Amino acid sequence: MGRKATFYLLHLIMVVMTFILSVLLILGFFAFREEGNAFLWALSMGLMLLVVLNAVLVVYWAVKKRIWFVVPLVAIVLNFNFIGSMIQLRNVDKTDCELKIATYNIHGFRHGEYAQVMTEIAHELIMENASVVCMQEFVLNKKYSFSEMKSLMGAYRYGYLPTDGNYNPGVAIFSKYPIINVGYMPFEDTDNSALWADIDVKGKIIRVINAHLQTTNLSQSGYELAELKNGAFVDSLKIKTFNTLKNRLMNNEERRIFQAEKILSVADTTKTPVILCGDWNTTPASYIYSRMTENYTDGFKECGGGYGYTFNSFLKMLRIDFVLYKGIIGKCYYSPKMPYSDHNPVLFGFSLGN
């Protein structure tokens, strides 16, 4: 009798878990439709984990030959487009690329001695045959001027970093081809910003927009959530901390939406081909991604292959670095592992067409 009761209890737990995880995954499907919803944004950040957990449940119920496998399967099917933005079943021919652009959040060159890390990153990207390099969290060291740092980039003769000598916003563009015009887009009340450059590539002008959207503060939020879980605060402080977390998520998402619209106001009025890239601190399940891909092609979905994560923490479940484009032909897209940051670089190969 005890064993039978245990079996039914386990069965009930699995049924309840199946419904909860499936409902969460289904709600995540609506994240891209809702502007500024902190809860749905949080779901979008964990959507890949929910896909994996629901896939496990499909296998679990299928092995047991129970009809319950249909519930998580439906949730997965609903998120087919999102899955396609994270996983592409194609081989990528990295040699079939006339030109390449790289985007890389280099985490302030914190993963080693400053100049050495800069030199090694440049060497890696040159070996990858990148023609243009966009960096985020490009923090100047007091020992080096920007001209000295640019010299470390070797083959990248042209470069631009908006700075007044005392402060730089952390976005930089380097190029093997001439940069003929630049523009800086600061975002209000934040260290995040965007930078665009018109680059003369073999006689054809391409506008490259390098954007670092509002940071998520996930590390700080994770610490506070752990404190709440461990009971480190009294009840009144727990309520205050929870509200702070909720407000921070909502405020940061609203900022990203505003920043994305500011970028699109520049990109959409550009007459030349456009490449939008950078660290956007949001996933392909989000409203911002949906908005940004209305008129621009996601390089990964078009010509990427394998599993497309770009952030090395959070179980490698996040793709938050992107390259979108319009007016050129995508050829290859991949994200190699490099030891210089908590992000992986993204490389996008393209041709100019006719």
Residue range 168-184, pLDDT digits in tens: 788 999 999 999 999 99
Are residue 127 and residue 176 in the same domain, yes or no? Answer: yes
Dihedral angle over CA of 112, 115, 117, 118, nearest 10: 150
Are residue 162 and residue 271 in the same domain, yes or no? Answer: yes
Confidence of residue 244 (pLDDT cuts 50, 70, 90): low
- Which are the contacts of 286, defined by CB distance < 8 A and separation ≥ 6? 31, 32, 41, 44
Are residue 10 and residue 155 in the same domain, yes or no? Answer: no
Are residue 194 and residue 301 in the same domain, yes or no? Answer: yes
Are residue 142 and residue 261 in the same domain, yes or no? Answer: yes
**Rounded Cα gap, residues 149 and 277, in angstroms:** 22
Are residue 43 and residue 101 in the same domain, yes or no? Answer: no
**Rounded Cα gap, residues 190 and 211, in angstroms:** 13
Are residue 298 and residue 193 in the same domain, yes or no? Answer: yes
Identity at 111, one-letter amino acid code: H
Residue 228 lies in a domain: no
Per the DSSP assignment, residues forming a β-bridge with 274 are 207, 326
Residue 80 lies in a domain: yes
pLDDT of residue 229: 56
Q: Where are the alpha helices (DSSP H) in the chain?
A: 2-29, 38-45, 47-63, 70-78, 80-84, 114-127, 146-152, 218-229, 235-267, 287-292, 299-303
Residue with token string 């449940």: 57
Confidence of residue 218 (pLDDT cuts 50, 70, 90): low
Three-class DSSP category at 321 = strand
Per the DSSP assignment, residues forming a β-bridge with 174 are 133, 159
pLDDT in tens, 141-156: 777 777 877 887 888 9
Point out the least confidently predicted range of 25-34, 151-160, 244-253, 319-328.
Answer: 244-253
- Nearest 5°: CA angle at 224, between 220 and 225? 115
Token pair of 335, please? 């994200």
pLDDT of residue 187: 92
Residue 68 lies in a domain: yes
Token pair of 158, please? 């042209």
Domain's final residue, options 54, 84, 114: 84
Q: Which of 208, 205, 206, 202 is CA-nearest to residue 134?
A: 208
Distance from the Cα of residue 276 to its chain's centroid: 12
Are residue 46 and residue 137 in the same domain, yes or no? Answer: no
Question: At residue 158, what are phi and psi to the nearest 5 degrees?
Answer: -115, 140
Question: At residue 327, what are phi and psi to the nearest 5 degrees?
Answer: 90, 5
Residue 131 lies in a domain: yes
Length of the chain: 354
Beta strands across the sheet bearing 158-160: 158-160, 172-175, 132-136, 99-105, 346-351, 329-334
Residue 225 lies in a domain: no
Strands (E), 78-201: 87-88, 99-105, 132-136, 158-160, 172-175, 179-186, 193-201
Contact of 293 with 263, CB cutoff 8 Å = no
Contact of 336 with 344, CB cutoff 8 Å = yes
pLDDT of residue 118: 86
Are residue 194 and residue 56 in the same domain, yes or no? Answer: no
Are residue 157 and residue 257 in the same domain, yes or no? Answer: yes
The radius of gyration of the chain's CA atoms, rounded to the nearest angstrom, is 22
Q: Which of 32, 27, 29 is CA-nearest to residue 291?
A: 32
Are residue 7 and residue 113 in the same domain, yes or no? Answer: no
Three-class DSSP category at 96 = coil
**CATH classification at residue 128:** 3.60.10.10
Residue with token string 């990964």: 300
Are residue 109 and residue 54 in the same domain, yes or no? Answer: no
Domain span including residue 79: 2-84
Residue 335 lies in a domain: yes
Q: Are strands 179-186 and 204-212 parallel, antiparallel or unpaired?
A: unpaired
Domain's final residue, options 19, 53, 84: 84
Residue with token string 């992107």: 322
Q: How many domains does the chain have?
A: 2
Residue 255 lies in a domain: yes
pLDDT of residue 181: 97
Q: Which sign, positive or negative, has the C-alpha torsion 21, 26, 32, 35?
A: negative
Mean pLDDT for the chain? 88
pLDDT in tens, 257-279: 999 999 999 999 999 999 999 99
Residue 29 lies in a domain: yes
Domain's final residue, options 84, 103, 121: 84
